[in-house]
Amino acid sequence: MTITAIILIAINIITYSLINIYWIKFAILLASIVFFILILQFFRNPKRVTKHNNEHIIAPVDGKVVAIEEVYEKEYFKDNRLQISIFMSPINVHVTRHPVGGKVTYSKYHPGKFLVAWHPKSSEENERTTVVVKNEVAGEILYRQIAGAMAKRIVNYAEVDAEVAQGSDSGFIKFGSRVDVFVPLGTKIRVGLNEKVKGGVSVIADVAS
């Protein structure tokens, strides 16, 4: 954000030096302020209080549930799982949080394309990271950060063998994107399509028997 601020200040200094038309100067200044506010809004990381519960799988991100379906997960499990997909718009908080607590057993980055995040092939062809956390009750839960058409970089903090707390920061995706969560068949889904969820707070599935 510091670099962004410096660039915007430089643009306005140059504008005021070279342009004598007041309304153009004012328009550029106003646009710079609005743009910087949007950047601050996008990179915010509000503190969330997570109620730790090994039987609950919580939303890793803010956004809207766009898919709940049984799929074949071919990267890690190589079997059928229930997939819950959450789409984030550019105005959502884009911090990714661990949906369960436990030990990170898998963490891998995949370079790729930048198809729109809701594209059917985005989960296999877009830039993405796959992380698996093993919880003592829920078992291994996989979540996948998927870059969207505007997202150009995924940040992933998860390291294999690290012990992580449910709801703690696990990464960040810059601009519009999606996160898929894969849970075992038979898991009780606690959200519906088009439902809005809050990362680190909303319970999206329940593994209680």
What is the reported pLDDT for 117? Answer: 52
pLDDT tens digits along 89-110: 877 887 899 999 999 999 999 8
pLDDT tens digits along 158-189: 999 999 999 999 988 766 688 999 999 999 99
Is 177 annotated in the active site?
yes
Give every residue of the chain whose pLDDT is below 50, as ranges. Answer: none
What is the reported pLDDT for 27? Answer: 86
Q: Which of 32, 107, 122, 177 is catalytic?
A: 177
**Token output for 79:** 């079997």
What is the reported pLDDT for 172? Answer: 80
